[in-house]
Chain A
Amino acid sequence: MNAPHAMTAGTAAPATARYDWGAALKDASLAALVTLGLCIPIVLLRTDQGAGVDLLLRPRIGMVASFVAAVFAARLLHHVLLARRAGRPLVEQKAEVRTTPNAVPWAKMGLYAFMGVAMSFPLIVFLIQGGLSESRYWVDLGILVLTYVMLGWGLNIVVGLAGLLDLGYVAFYAVGAYSYALLSTTFGLSFWICLPLAGILAAFWGMLLGFPVLRLRGDYLAIVTLAFGEIIRLVLINWVDFSGGGAGISSIPRVTFFGVPFSADEGGFASLFGLTFSPMHRVIFLYYLILGLAFLTAFVTLRLRKLPVGRAWEALREDEIACRSLGINTTNTKLTAFATGAMFGGFAGSFFAVRQGFISPESFTFLESAVILAIVVLGGMGSQLGVAIAAIVMVAGPELLRNLGFLKAVFGESFDPNEFRFLIFGLGMVAMMIWRPRGLISEREPTAILKERRAISGSHVKEGHG
């Protein structure tokens, strides 16, 4: 957009510069015009079922007008904000620049706060909803969010720390899920034995993927990892004898409380602890199980970052050639990153299988990889807290947007908020790209300090070449 350059003008001569309102008005009109152009094919005509088979076209001129007006107003408001910023004295601006971004204690506090809320979430929901069964929806949503938090943290090792763009992360999730499903249904192994096995198998597949792609960078690496994800899915669909094909694997054994089943009969969890049986016991146990797994991921990642291997990952993201000149075996370093990330994907996968009780290749499409990658990128590559927030936004966000009933008061009774939740979600993403293009938390925390802890601004941190 040809917005008037108020910012640059403001920094040059702030006190005297007058904001160019003519240009602002022109810009806002242009935005309104673009909106009009977009609205004519998308919003203007609505097809309603007539009395018979015929369709009735109903023009919605009022709606288009309100959209255009809204965009015009929003754009103008943006300019008002810019003008106010331009009007600020220069001294104040300088002071703003001087304060180095010291987000480290803040980020750490945030992570602890997230952990605290996550730990007490079922209790909070129980108190608010006033009963176990009533809180089922929320605890289920919590489990879903935490699964993505864990996947995000796992992928963060590969993408955020080592800077290797992996578009096929869901493959390891699938390997983990099928490992548990097949091992438990075929050999009757318990979940607690299968969990580490699933991690090991996924890590092994991570290495297998790692070897051929070691020489690739950037787009080429992304394509091969994408293909790997698809290959795994297609093998699972087509190798019917092994994986059950598209029908998937059903009746996977449910999770047990370290050997005690969550059943209503004698010897079950409820009777053992003298509680009245409720299916929610299992759900809440699953919640804490995924919470534990996610915390394990975060703990290991934070710890690895401070070890030489973690520093080597980050150095690899910054400059691979310099790494090699310093005697770092880049092959092994990349493989460990792939394997570690894949292992956590495997853990999450076996959790998915034990939670669902049924898995099929349908659950492991490219869209899943894209969502996980979006979580990592949105959160800020390498940031634990950012990824956690992004997972909540990405997974719980569209869910929560279902409850937009109050908008009916604005747009009338016929307005269905469900139809617009992804539009609102998309708007949010666009806003993110404008204001925080490097993710929610782009500052990097140093892994070793001599005197003073300072966060490193995201502008210095490289994103890796693939």
Chain B
Amino acid sequence: MSASVTTAPAAAGTALWERDAVLAVDHLTMRFGGLVAVNDLSFRAGRGDITALIGPNGAGKTTVFNCITGFYKPTEGMMTLRQEEGATYLLERLPGHSVNWKARVARTFQNIRLFTGMTVLENLLVAQHNKLMIASGFSVLGLLGIGPYRADEARAIEKAKYWLDKIGLTDRADDPAGDLPYGDQRRLEIARAMCTDPILLCLDEPAAGLNPRESNELNRLLLDIRRDQGTSLLLIEHDMSVVMEISDHVVVLDYGTKIADGTPGEIRDDPKVIAAYLGVEDDEVEKVEAEVGV
């Protein structure tokens, strides 16, 4: 299958994200029975970049996310995560929970998945589960009340406070997460993912359902995260204002295949992208029909 892949025109492969990629996806293919959801997809997400994955509905974006974050095992392909210290993880080989704990990839969900019956604070503490588990001596020491658990829990609460402050929910820390309005739930989910100290944060449509003001706040939050934490971001988004405003690098998918890859400016003018989103002009259809012989 010779998929028509437009390589980034920026100086043939020396784009920033090619030089220091936090995530390298190579020849990723995901089949569900006969359906090819993702077809031979390769792209790089640069360290410290905000990479956007866009495409029409059903293009396979969320499937890519599910492969990266360990919810699906890809049919073919390789996903390499390089940490700054040099450690390398092949994400497709890690068990589901290790993608977050070892490789430090965190994610949010398209339909928000908070622990609605737990308080906002508890949500952020659950995110720090593994560290606290070790601190509590895998519950044995914690049960007996010995060991460093108390101090570590206080530290975890401090960290939660930091993120609550960041997303402006300090006043609602003791309310159940299910009580929050939609926009706050979105931000809380991002904060919860950030509490796992990720080096790559994958956001599945973070701006969906937000009004323009909330969407602006979200942009600021994401830029802050990149600046203060040095976390690389990978996001799926339909809201083009978000994509064009904050992303450094855009990858466009259509029918599971990459059709464009470049800076937002390049993508905006790419005829293939315009065709995928808006359809092609009539004379082109006629041309194709003539070739096929209808």
Interface residues of A (CB under 8 A from B): 300, 303-304, 307-309, 311-312, 314-315, 317-319, 321-330, 336, 444, 446-454, 456-457, 460-462
Contacts and interface: CB of A to CB of B under 8 A. Distances in A.
B117 interface: yes
A327 B196 contact: yes
Given A327-B98, A329-B101, A446-B174, 12 more contacts: A307-B149, A308-B139, A311-B126, A312-B126, A324-B96, A326-B127, A327-B97, A336-B139, A451-B174, A452-B174, A460-B116, A462-B116
Contacts of A449: 119, 121, 174
B169 to A, nearest CB: 10
Nearest to A340: B139
Interface string B140-177: 00110000010001000100110010000010011111
Contact of A451 (B106, B109, B122, B173): B173
Interface string B97-118: 1111100001101000111111
A146 to B, nearest CB: 23
Interface string B161-195: 10010000010011111110000000000001100
Nearest to B173: A450
A322 B174 contact: no
A327 B130 contact: yes
B143 A448 contact: no
Contacts of A317: 117
Contacts of A327: 97-101, 129-130, 196
Contact of B132 (A308, A325, A450): A308
A448 B161 contact: no
A450 B130 contact: no
Contact of A448 (B71, B122, B133): B122
24 contacts: A304-B143, A308-B128, A309-B139, A312-B126, A314-B118, A315-B118, A315-B126, A315-B129, A319-B115, A324-B96, A325-B109, A326-B100, A326-B192, A327-B98, A327-B101, A328-B97, A444-B118, A446-B122, A448-B119, A448-B121, A448-B157, A450-B174, A451-B173, A453-B174
Given A325-B100, A446-B122, A460 B178 contact: yes
A322 B109 contact: yes
Nearest to A457: B176
Contacts of A304: 139, 143
B131 to A, nearest CB: 8
B29 interface: no
B51 interface: no
- Give the interface centre of A319, A321, A327, A456 by most chain B CB atoms within 10 Å: A327
B150 to A, nearest CB: 11
A318 B129 contact: no
A198 to B, nearest CB: 20
B109 to A, nearest CB: 7
A51 B79 CA distance: 89
Contacts of B62: none
B179 A460 contact: yes
A142 B96 CA distance: 48
A318 B157 contact: no
B148 to A, nearest CB: 13
A303 B145 CA distance: 9
A461 B176 CA distance: 9
A214 B226 CA distance: 37
A325 B106 contact: yes
Contacts of A323: 126
Nearest to B95: A329
A107 to B, nearest CB: 16
Interface of B: 69-71, 96-101, 106-107, 109, 113-119, 121-122, 125-130, 132-133, 136, 138-139, 142-143, 149, 153, 157, 160-161, 164, 170, 173-179, 192-193, 196
- Give the interface centre of A311, A321, A444 by most chain B CB atoms within 10 Å: A311
Contact of B129 (A328, A336, A451): A328
Given A307-B142, A307-B143, A309-B139, A326 B114 contact: no
A325 B107 contact: yes
Given A446-B121, A456-B119, A300 B143 contact: yes
A461 B153 CA distance: 24
A321 B71 contact: yes
B117 A318 contact: yes
Nearest to B108: A325
A303 B143 contact: yes
A329 B106 CA distance: 14
A456 B97 CA distance: 28
A446 B98 CA distance: 28
A447 B119 CA distance: 9
Contacts of B139: 304, 307-309, 336
A445 to B, nearest CB: 10
Contact of B136 (A307, A314, A321, A454): A307
Given A300-B143, A327-B101, A446 B119 contact: yes
Contacts of B164: 450
Contacts of B142: 303, 307-308
A255 to B, nearest CB: 27
B145 to A, nearest CB: 8
Nearest to B133: A308
Contact of A456 (B107, B118, B132): B118
Contacts of B129: 308, 311-312, 315, 326-328
B143 A324 contact: no
Contacts of A328: 97, 126, 129-130
Given A304-B139, A454-B175, A319 B114 contact: yes
A377 B193 CA distance: 33
B157 A450 contact: yes
Contacts of B109: 321-322, 325
Contacts of A336: 139
A460 to B, nearest CB: 4
A308 B142 CA distance: 9
B114 A448 contact: no
B42 to A, nearest CB: 24
Contacts of A311: 118, 122, 125-126, 129
A448 B100 contact: no
A383 to B, nearest CB: 13
A72 to B, nearest CB: 41
Contact of B176 (A300, A307, A319, A456): A456
A303 B143 CA distance: 6
Contacts of A448: 119, 121-122, 125, 153, 157
A319 B113 contact: yes
Contacts of B133: 308-309, 312
Nearest to A311: B126
A192 B208 CA distance: 60
Contact of B126 (A303, A326, A454, A456): A326
